[in-house]
Amino acid sequence: MPRPPSSPTAPPRSFRWTRRIVLTFLTAFALLPVYVMLSSSLKPLQDVSGKFQWIPSGLTVRPYIDIWDTVPLARYFLNSLIVAGAATVLSVVIAVFAAYAVSRYRFRGKRVFTVTVLSTQMFPGILFLLPLFLIFVNIGNSTGITLYGSRGGLILTYLTFSLPFSIWMLIGYFDSIPRDLDEAAMVDGCGALGALFRVVVPAAVPGIVAVAVYAFMTAWGEVLFASVMTNDTTRTLSVGLQGYASQNDVYWNQVMAASLVVSVPVVAGFLLLQRYLVAGLTAGAVK
């Protein structure tokens, strides 16, 4: 979102110098691990085992070939994609419905709902990790629906992690869309849901994209539940990546190559959509 200069006069020299120093420091801080990841992923093993080299003495793409054999990275990748993708879609759809109800209707229990949903953000994950694990095992024993160890269980868990924030942000976003628009649609013969899908959802695309990005990143990066709730076949990247480090030798070049490979899709997607995220936050959450 380009913002015109806020002051008609050019900033003074003291400000320009401070800006240069602060921004240079923060750029170096932000990018240092990215540089290490990239450069080390292209080094042969003896180079990452010895002293760190800023400028690699030899380059090889070997680590990028080997990562797929050292651990079943492709399977973990697919698992993460399925889990994070499904959790995102479901979380967004459910949040849209819930936020629409809160934004457009008055009903008994509205405050209780929003306060409860928001306060679940506060729970330490560790508090409900074991109970949830036991619930999933019990559901499996009594109904035959496998949740523990399955992708379905993880999808169910993850979608609730992003749900509170998504609902909260979409309420703000929907509130900023003039009510007259969907009322007019209803007068023209749309039902409430018709108005939601034909008017409110199209007008709220930036907010919905922002929420989807957030949900995907939450699911793609989660470690605690993934380490307890998965088995060998359903393991996601967050747990699978530790496979390179569990041997006597740590294949640091492969660890870095794999880290880069799993990061590229999310980082690319995020940077492409970050404008929506700022727009969504401005209209929704930061009010």
Partner 1 sequence: MTTTVTPGRTDRAGSGESVGTTDTRRRLPRIPDRIRHGGLPYLLLLPAIVLEMLVHLIPMVIGITMSFRQLTQFYIRNWGEAPWAAFDNYRVAVDFDAPIGQALLHSFYVTCLFTVLAVGLSWLFGVAAAIMMQENFRGRGLLRAVFLTPYALPVYAAVITWAFMFQRDNGLINHVLHDQLGLTDEPSFWLIGDNSFIALVVVAVWKSWPFAFLIIMAGLQNIPRELYEAAAIDGAGIWQQIRKITLPSLRPVNQVLVLVLFLWTFNDFNTPYVLFGRAAPEAADLISIHIYQSSFVTWNFGSGSAMSVLLLLFLLLVTAVYLLLTSRGRKAADA
Q: How far apart are CA 243 and CA 252, in angstroms?
A: 11
Selected binder of partner 1 within 30, 55, 115, 142 (CB under 8 A): 30
Task: Check if the beta carbon of residue 266 is closer than 8 Å to that of residue 217.
Answer: yes
74 forms part of the interface with partner 1 (CB under 8 A): no
170 forms part of the interface with partner 1 (CB under 8 A): no
The 207-236 site mask, x for binding partner 1 (CB under 8 A), equals ----------x--xxxxx--xx--------
113 forms part of the interface with partner 1 (CB under 8 A): yes
179 forms part of the interface with partner 1 (CB under 8 A): yes
Distances (CA, A) of 71 to 48, 77, 219, 241: 19, 11, 21, 8
Q: How far apart are CA 187 and CA 264, in angstroms?
A: 47
201 forms part of the interface with partner 1 (CB under 8 A): no
112 forms part of the interface with partner 1 (CB under 8 A): no
What's the DSSP call for residue 12?
P
Selected binder of partner 1 within 36, 81, 89, 190 (CB under 8 A): 36
Selected binder of partner 1 within 51, 55, 115, 248 (CB under 8 A): 51
CB of 257 to partner 1, least distance (A): 11
In 3-state terms, the chain is what percent helix, strand and coil (to 5)? 75, 0, 25
202 forms part of the interface with partner 1 (CB under 8 A): no
CB atoms within 10 A of CB 203: 17
Task: Check if the beta carbon of residue 150 is closer than 8 Å to that of residue 231.
Answer: no
Q: Which stretch binds partner 1 (CB under 8 A): 59-67, 68-76, 200-208, 238-246?
A: 238-246
